[in-house]
């Protein structure tokens, strides 16, 4: 009678693990997270905002900052008041239902902030917020 060889002692064939399917899954997950990521928009400056009694957390898609030097910043670039309409129209073309926030410095001229707000209203942006500091 022939003896059966033990499976434990057979070391002839090395076991190889195929990593290709796991790498495919990792790349698919990476692509998913990149596509669904929300990128934070920065206005370009950090203005010293006026204080308010109440403050509500809002995530606008368009940020417009007005500095104390009467400069208007959108996406990190300074613009003149006459130029911001074209820039805002381009941003609205990307996202027609965009919300806007004006971050006016505490020392910014009120007239400039109101002019920016008027441009935003002329472009028929539904929600326009004024950013303030919490008291």
* pTM assigned to the model: 0.58
- For residue 26, what pLDDT is reported? 93
Q: What is the mean pLDDT of residues 96-111?
A: 84
Kindly tell me if the per-residue pLDDT of 10 is higher than 80: no
Hey, CA dihedral for 55, 59, 60, 62, is it positive or negative? positive
Structural domains in the chain, CATH included, are 51-134 (3.30.420.270)
pLDDT, tens digit (0-9, with 9 covering 90-100), for 14-48: 777 888 888 999 999 999 888 887 666 666 666 66
> For residue 8, what are the CA distances in angstroms to 4, 14, 15, 16?
12, 13, 13, 17
Q: What is the mean pLDDT of residues 115-134?
A: 83
Sort strands 62-66 and 77-79 into parallel, antiparallel or unpaired.
unpaired
**∠ CA 104-109-115, rounded to 5°:** 75
pLDDT, tens digit (0-9, with 9 covering 90-100), for 74-91: 888 888 888 899 999 988
- Longest Cα–Cα distance of the chain, Å, equals 104
């Amino acid at each position: 009678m022939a003896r059966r060889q033990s499976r434990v002692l057979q070391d002839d064939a090395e076991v190889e693990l195929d990593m290709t399917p796991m790498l495919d899954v990792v790349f698919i997950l990476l692509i998913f997270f990149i596509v669904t990521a929300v990128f934070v928009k920065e206005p370009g400056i950090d203005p010293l905002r006026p204080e308010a009694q109440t403050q509500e957390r809002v995530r606008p898609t368009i940020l417009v900052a007005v500095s104390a030097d009467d400069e208007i910043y959108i996406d990190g670039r300074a613009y003149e008041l006459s130029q911001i309409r074209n820039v805002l129209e381009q941003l609205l073309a990307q996202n027609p239902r965009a919300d806007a926030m004006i971050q006016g410095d505490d020392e910014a001229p009120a007239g400039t902030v109101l002019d920016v707000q008027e441009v935003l209203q002329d472009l028929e942006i539904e929600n326009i917020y004024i950013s303030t500091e919490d008291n």
